[in-house]
Structure formats: structure tokens, C-alpha cells
Structure 1
Amino acid sequence: MSDERAPDPLTSFISRSLRTEVTEVSEEIVQDTTEAELDRVHFTQDGARRTLIVKRVPPHSSLEVKLLPHLARKTDRVPVVHARGIPPTMVPAWPWLLIEDLLGAPAADDLADVVRAKVAVERAVAADGPALVALGVPRIARRGALAEWPEVIVHGALVRLNAVRTDRGVVLTEWRHASLGCGLTDVVRLARDAGAPARPLAELYANESGRPLTETALAAALELL
């Protein structure tokens, strides 16, 4: 009988997800609430210590689990996804993601860079409307002055807390409120959260998107907040 011990389940899980050998694996609870569970996994890979985050969310709030892997395949302006799991309906377990650890990343202090990151995500999935709907992303009607704006992926909670700076640039996190609608609403929400005038950021977004910004469109977006 061999004395070699089988790796523990957590070590096997991380090794399979990264497709490489890892050692010295441990886990710490970062958040445990009714809204989400966050565990930080520490491990050694190629002689260096690394961390990843296991994020679990309730089934009724699992849009991010379905959407984020798709976004991550298209753009680096969202967290890197290494694995995900969606248990069958009859199984009493929460859907989960294994993602890069951005919990300690500094906030993106340049609002213009946040807007540009948002535009990059929009462009990356501009032709993916049907696929996004199939993943469960809801469509929000664009009415009045906003009806002239194209349908894009809307973050839905674009505030400073959900935009971090990494070595590759600004990354937008927390996509559970995403929808398809008018992207201008994200920009005015960001401005309001930062206590900044909405017009300069809205003009930047309009220029990046190739759209003229009108007073009526800006007012309509502000009214939706």
C-alpha cells in the first residue's frame, strides 16, 4: 500500500482550475453575509505565494456568475475568471466564481479612466446582445431622449468602490446589477457617487462612444438615478 497522501480537495480544486501544480494551500473567510461569501485562497505556485478569491452568491443574485466569464473572455477590463460553478436547482448550494484577488487593489482615482474602461467593455461585447440576454442579462427600455443612444452593456452599479487600478489598467468589478440599456446612466451614477459634475464625464463618454451629447439626454439619464 502506498504511503503517498492524496491532495486535499481545496488543493485539487485550485490545481485543476489553474491547470498547474500548487502547494501550501489555505483559505480564509473575508466576508460571510446573506449577500455574498468571499474566501481568500492562499497557495504557492512556481515558488511564489499567490492568492485568489472564491466568491459565492445566492441563486437569486447569480447574474454575475453567469455573465463575468463571458466578459472576461472578451476584455481585460473585468476580473480574470479561473473557474465557476452553478449547482443544479435542487442542490442547496450557492453559485460561485474563482477570480483574481482584487480586494486589496487601490481604487481608480481618475474618473476619466473609469469611463474609458467602461467604454472598452461596451466595445468588447457590442455584438453580443443575444448571447448576453441568453445569460440572463435583462433589457432596460431606452425611452425619450435616451432612445437615440445605442443599447450597450450597463454596469448598473458603477461607483468608485467598484473600479480598481491594476497593472493592466482600470478593472470594473461587481457586475451583478448589469443590464442592456443606455450606458450614459452608468456615467452619471459615477459622477454623482464621486460628487463631481456629470457633464464633463458625460461629454467624455459621448466622445468615446461617437455620440453627440444633448442637454435632454443628460437630464434624462440623471432622472433615472
Structure 2
Amino acid sequence: MEQPEIYALIYKKKNSCNTFIRVCLLITTICTDLFRIVLGYYIKPERLKRKLREKEADLKPNLNNEQKKLLYNSNNMLTPSDLDLAVMFQILRFVCKIPPPAEGWGKLPLRSDTSIGACLNIIRLKRNHYFHKPEAPTDDKEFQTTWKYMRSAVVELERHFIGGNLFEIAVDNLYTLDVSKVQDALKQHKDKRVESIFFNVVGFANLLEEIAETIPYEKLNDMKEWIKSKIWVL
């Protein structure tokens, strides 16, 4: 009678690993690219450094030390590709003055709220939730709820700023991605600091971003090339 319970435990752990990888890839690739597009709508790349200087009093108190060093180092030739999702959210909120969602910043918006602020807030809250967890989620219901929230946010932002459905397609393809390919890439990676997906969530997310170009989920490269032809980012 013990054997089925052991198999169930192994399956549960494997499934949580797969869902965690999907969420991290969604955040570090698709959502990060989309945030760069939104930022580019409000601040052109050639004006980024100047705009941040102009709004330093508004932005700087809301940054951590690492973000301050990145954005306000006078010797740093800052480009949008240098920015991660977390710091872009702060710029969009405090420099671009995106209106807050109805529930306010820091609270999960209602599903009926499809405003720009609500969509950005959903992605940022989910990013913080998963990157600060000590281990991968084990509840499939949690994963499904998270995916629906984030997919809706991506679709609404794409509709507002770009049009078309290339990001939507990328999200849906990522949902069915063969996760074993990601796991193989992780095993082959030389960074010994990341021993498993349960070790250092932020480090794992950064690693995923590094190897994202090796992950063959359909349409992402086509999507990036199309975006490059339409807008400055990436």
C-alpha cells in the first residue's frame, strides 16, 4: 500500500516543478518583453536617461539600492534592455504616472478590471509572489488561477499597445511547452550555484532568462522579430 503513495508524491513534486518553470518563463521572457514595449510607448529610448533624471525626486525614493545604482550611475549608458520587470514597473508607476487600478497598487485587481494599471499590477504581484517563494508551488489550482490572471493581463496589454495576438499565442504555446527541454538546458548550464528549482528562486529566474533563447517554444522568435520591425524595444 505504500508504493502508490510514493509514486503520488514523486508525481506531485514533478508537476510542481513543471508549473513553476512555466510561470518563471512567462515572467522572465514574455511579460518582460511586453513591459519594455509599454515603457517604450511612454518614453522613447533616446530620452530614457534624461527622463529618469528629470523625475529623480519622484522615482528614487521608491527604488532599492541596486536599482538606484543601475538607473543613476552617471557612467552607465542605460538602455531599455538593461531593465528588468521590477524596475520597469517602478518607472511606469512613478515616472510615467500610469493611473492605479481600482483596488489600488499592491492589491490583486478584480478580474473585471482590464485597465493598464490593473494589468501591470497583476504581473508585478505574481512576479513578486513566485520569485519570493522558498519553493515551487504544489497546488495545480493555484497555478491555473495564476495563469488565467496573467494571460488576461498579457492579452489586454497587447491589445492596447500593439494589436494582434502574437503575445497571446506565445503564452498559450508556453502553457503546453515540453518542460523536459528546459530541464535539460538547466542540467547543461555551467552555473553551479543553481542546483535545483527549489534553490534560490530569484537566481533560478535569472538563469531562465539567460537560457530563454534556447527554449524552442513556437512563434516566440517570430514574435520578437515582428516587434523589432514595429517598435524600438528588444
Q: Same fold (TM over 0.5)?
A: no
| Higher strand residue share | 1
User: Which TM-score band applies after superposition, normalised by the shorter structure?
Assistant: under 0.3
- The alignment's TM-score, normalised by the length of structure 2, stands at 0.23
- The alignment's TM-score, normalised by the length of structure 1, stands at 0.24
